[in-house]
Amino acid sequence: MGRPVTLYTLQWGDLSLETVCQKAKAFGYDGLELGIPVHLDVRQTDPVYYQGIRSLLNKYDLQLFTISTHLIGQAVCDNIDPRRHKEILPDYIWGDGEPEGVRQRAAESLIQSAHAAKALGVNTVVGFTGSSIWHLLYSFPPVSDEMIEEGYRDLGRRFKPILDEYSRLGVRYALEVHPSEIAFDTFSARRALNALDNHPAFGFNYDPSHLGYQGVDYVDFIYEFSDRIYHVHMKDVYWSDVPKQVGVFGGHVTFGDPRRYWNFRSLGRGKINFEEIIRALNSIGYHGPLSVEWEDSAMDREQGAIESCRLVKSIDFEPSAIAFDANFGK
């Protein structure tokens, strides 16, 4: 048996959880990755609420391995912008919009997410951290080393108390390494770990699509953090072989615009080498789910979800327990 293939629900946030369950089962998925806040309210403390979630999943024979709090996690370390963050945050996080208050409520919600995960019987929460220094990415006007170091100290101050509670509950936080986060490539991911004193509750949600178009070795990332790959997103991306009007920074045009150097695509229609990813995951002993985070601005999402599920199941394989030539002799 290969790894379970799950569907991340945030891209289906316009539908009820039961409708998503129905569709995921019909598409061929083994389970879901529940997106907060649209399909899970982590403010709930009544065990009956969480039993209801489990019962709904069981009704459609779907498994649950993780919950995801990307939108809320983004606000923990970000410089809060009322024109942008208000659009992605629920009202109970946004409140009056005072930046530090938003960050504190987002941090509390991440702790609530760990309690929700525990109540649901899962041990991994996937999400973002945000970053107070992402706007300093291009170092002009000049950016000092101290300014960057302060960004990582800010991560440590804000996330260590969160991660301590995760450890107490036996839950892990998996940061999706991603532009606009404190960790967006291999080097910055290592720096984030160092800033958190290699906290045992902190690891990564591996998503090759965010690394490939940057020119980062996305297979090497698996080996580099072999003990910190807590969850895996399967997502594809295409980047051009020839110069385009809009470069790697995105040119202030929307996702999907054909003038862009890169765009997310349905699995198998981009440039990510999933064969090598599966071999690397086998090598490090990753046995968790492969979660399809489907994003393709130019394709119908149901067709994309169906073909992505089929592709992941077709390329996944169990590692061998013996060397291929072990039985050559008598």
Give the pLDDT band of residue 192 (cuts 50, 70, 90). Answer: very high
Q: Give a yes or no: residue 170 inside a domain.
A: yes
For residues 192 and 195, give the distance between their C-alpha atoms in angstroms, rounded to a whole number: 5
pLDDT at 329: 67
What does the buried/exposed string (b/e) look like for 55-67 if buried means 16 or more CB atoms within 10 Å of the residue's CB? ebbeebebebbbb
* Residue 1: pLDDT over 90: no
Determine the average pLDDT of the residues in 222-236.
Answer: 98
* Residue 325: pLDDT over 80: no
pLDDT at 2: 86
pLDDT digits (tens, 9 = 90+) for 207-227: 999 999 999 999 999 999 999
Q: Give a yes or no: residue 321 inside a domain.
A: no
Its domain, for residue 212, covers 5-315
pLDDT at 137: 96
Among the listed residues 2, 4, 3, 7, the one whose alpha carbon sits nearest the alpha carbon of residue 302: 7
Q: Give a yes or no: residue 271 inside a domain.
A: yes
70: domain CATH number is 3.20.20.150
* Residue 146: pLDDT over 90: yes
Q: Give a yes or no: residue 327 inside a domain.
A: no
Q: Give a yes or no: residue 322 inside a domain.
A: no
> How many structural domains is the chain composed of?
1
Q: Give a yes or no: residue 39 inside a domain.
A: yes
Tell me whether strands 290-292 and 5-8 are parallel, antiparallel or unpaired: parallel
Q: Give a yes or no: residue 330 inside a domain.
A: no
pLDDT at 320: 79
Q: Give a yes or no: residue 303 inside a domain.
A: yes
For residues 291 and 254, give the distance between their C-alpha atoms in angstroms, rounded to a whole number: 25
